[in-house]
């Protein structure tokens, strides 16, 4: 089981399990993960905070149970794929002549989940014994908000008992040779704006139709979007440092058996936007902008901020979301960078993750959480057609995690210097 071909076969097996929304096959993914745990001699626990949504926790016990543990997190679900638009079917995990493995989840993030396990397999066969306990968590539903997965785990008694001191979660592929490391992420808002207006004959020009009301809002959103995008285009800020707004659906019209009624102006129209807000942005003023400019009641508009507002977990505090220190003040940061370099990997500047991950639920507890997926020299294809990861890059990532897990699991806080100790006494 040490040869690359077995390693790649196991990766393919995991990728071939269709865990795409809206009907992820969590039974099959759980069975697969539990069988891997068994072959690795890891303790396992399956938590079902919500029926049919298994959170799997694997445990590699450390010699010192008093030290805070390490949690290596990944999500088991993937976003849907349009099968006929892929060159290789998204759940075949086909490997082409150049070693590229095509599959939904190859980058986001089944690679990471299994790389953790392969790294542990190697460390175990090398006789490595962890000082700190290492947990490997596999959570459901990240792609639909994580409410029945990581959010419930973070709130649970079971998690408290794990005494976690550091969480690793997903990052992004890097098109160049530098691995990317993320210390924070943007906060997601899923906004739906709705316009109502007088219906009327398709030929009539009049003010305040639902469509006109909605279009004026869309124009306003687009101006804001352009202003943010310009800052990125000018090279003044990174993608994760501005507010992104993208329209993701439009819903309007009076349906007919052949499509839509063409000579009626409808009385309702809706648009949906994916918005991502950097940690230091003023959430309050954005909500005011939405209420005053994008969905003003004076133009018969209403808006909803979706599941995040209702669940109250991320959005309605109006505080700045928690971030993890990305410098030497955080030993986990230095250890990670050091471990990657030790394994001959290169590291880019600390970044804000432009999308969102389950790491936010752990950061909100005050825990350090770092986003990292070891994929260098790889185009960024998450949520895209033809998502792939090269097998050599996958194997390289296992070496990187071997180095990281070895450093993390061996880390014992240095005893204070005499100076520090005396200062503590004062």
Residues of this chain that interact with ligand MET (CB under 6 A) are 142-143, 145, 188, 355-357
DSSP 8-state secondary structure symbol assigned to residue 20: B
Which partner, ligand MET, Zn ion, none, binds residue 109 by CB below 5 to 8 Å per kind? Zn ion
Interface with Zn ion: number of residues (CB under 5 A) = 3
Q: Is 42 exposed, middle or buried (0-12, 13-18, 19+ CB in 10 A)?
A: buried
For residue 46, what are its two tokens?
A: 């399956």
Nearest to 192 by CA among 278, 251, 143, 147: 251
Give the residue numbers of the binding site for Zn(2+). Answer: 75, 108, 143, 170, 383
Q: How far is the CB of 125 from ligand MET (least distance, A)?
A: 33
For residue 158, what are its two tokens?
A: 């079971």
Specify the pairing of strand 268-277 against strand 187-196.
Answer: antiparallel
Which partner, Zn ion, ligand MET, none, binds residue 188 by CB below 5 to 8 Å per kind? ligand MET
Identify whether 142 is a catalytic site residue: yes
Identify whether 270 is a catalytic site residue: no
Q: Which of residues 161-180 bind Zn ion (CB under 5 A)?
A: 170
Which partner, Zn ion, ligand MET, none, binds residue 145 by CB below 5 to 8 Å per kind? ligand MET
**How far apart (Å, rounded) are the C-alpha atoms in residues 71 and 269?**
45
Q: Write out the H or E segment, with its range, that includes residue 164.
A: strand 164-169
Q: How far is the CB of 209 from ligand MET (least distance, A)?
A: 32
Neighbours of 164 (CB within 10 A): 22
Which partner, Zn ion, ligand MET, none, binds residue 243 by CB below 5 to 8 Å per kind? none
185: contact with Zn ion by CB under 5 A: no
Q: Which is nearer to Zn ion, 170 or 393 (CB)?
A: 170
Residue 31 vs residues 27, 34, 177: alpha-carbon distances, Å? 6, 5, 35
Which partner, ligand MET, Zn ion, none, binds residue 123 by CB below 5 to 8 Å per kind? none
109: contact with Zn ion by CB under 5 A: yes
- Residue from 77, 100, 108, 393 touching Zn ion (CB under 5 A): that is 108
6 CB-near residues (< 8 Å, 6+ apart)? none
Q: How far is the CB of 151 from ligand MET (least distance, A)?
A: 10
Q: Which is nearer to Zn ion, 139 or 166 (CB)?
A: 139
Phi/psi region, residue 99 (left: phi>0; alpha: psi -120 to 50; beta: rest), is: left
Q: How far is the CB of 20 from Zn ion (least distance, A)?
A: 11
Q: How far is the CB of 6 from ligand MET (least distance, A)?
A: 30
Which of 100, 118, 141, 142 is catalytic? The answer is 142
For residue 19, what are its two tokens?
A: 């865990």
Q: Which is nearer to ligand MET, 121 or 315 (CB)?
A: 315
Contact between 265 and 215 under an 8 Å Cβ cutoff? The reply is no
**How far apart (Å, rounded) are the C-alpha atoms in residues 393 and 400?**
10
Residue nearest ligand MET by beta-carbon distance: 355
Q: Which residues are catalytic?
A: 77, 142
Which stretches of the chain bind Zn ion, using CB under 5 A? 108-109, 170
């Amino acid at each position: 089981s040490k040869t690359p071909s077995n390693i790649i076969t196991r990766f393919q097996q995991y990728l071939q399990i269709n865990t795409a929304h809206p009907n992820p096959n969590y039974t099959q993914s759980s069975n697969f993960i539990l069988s891997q745990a068994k072959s690795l001699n890891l303790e396992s626990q399956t938590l079902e905070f919500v029926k049919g949504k298994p959170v799997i926790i694997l445990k590699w016990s450390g010699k010192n149970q008093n030290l805070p543990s390490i949690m290596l997190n990944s999500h088991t679900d993937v976003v849907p794929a349009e099968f006929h638009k892929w060159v290789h079917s998204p759940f075949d995990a086909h490997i082409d002549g150049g070693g590229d493995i095509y599959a939904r989840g190859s980058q986001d993030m089944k690679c990471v989940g299994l790389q953790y396990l392969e790294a542990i397999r190697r460390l175990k066969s090398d006789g490595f014994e962890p000082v700190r306990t290492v947990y490997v968590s596999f959570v459901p539903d990240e792609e639909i908000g994580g409410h029945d997965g990581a959010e419930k785990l973070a709130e649970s008694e079971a998690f408290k008992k794990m005494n976690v001191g550091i969480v690793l979660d997903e990052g992004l592929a890097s098109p160049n040779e530098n691995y990317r490391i993320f210390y924070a992420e943007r906060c997601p808002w899923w906004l739906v704006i709705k316009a109502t207006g007088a219906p009327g004959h398709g030929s009539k020009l009049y003010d305040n139709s639902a469509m006109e009301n909605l279009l004026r809002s869309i124009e306003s959103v687009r101006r804001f979007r352009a202003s943010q995008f310009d800052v990125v285009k000018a090279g003044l800020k990174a993608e994760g440092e501005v507010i992104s707004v993208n329209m993701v659906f439009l819903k309007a019209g009076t349906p007919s058996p052949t499509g839509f009624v063409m000579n009626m102006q409808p009385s309702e129209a809706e648009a949906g936007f994916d918005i991502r807000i950097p940690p230091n942005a003023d959430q309050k003023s954005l909500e005011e902008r939405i209420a005053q400019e994008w969905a003003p009641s004076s133009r018969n508009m209403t808006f909803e901020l979706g599941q995040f507002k209702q669940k109250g977990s991320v959005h309605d505090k109006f505080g700045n979301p928690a971030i993890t220190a990305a410098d030497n003040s955080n030993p986990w940061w230095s250890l990670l960078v050091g471990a990657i370099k030790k394994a001959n990997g290169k590291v880019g500047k600390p970044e804000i993750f432009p999308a969102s991950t389950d790491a936010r639920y752990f950061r909100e507890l005050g825990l350090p959480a770092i986003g990292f997926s070891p994929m260098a020299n790889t185009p960024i294809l998450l949520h895209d057609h033809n998502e792939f990861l090269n097998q050599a890059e996958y194997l390289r990532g296992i070496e990187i995690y071997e180095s990281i897990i070895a450093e993390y699991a061996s880390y014992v806080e240095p005893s204070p210097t005499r100076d520090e100790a005396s200062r503590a006494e004062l």
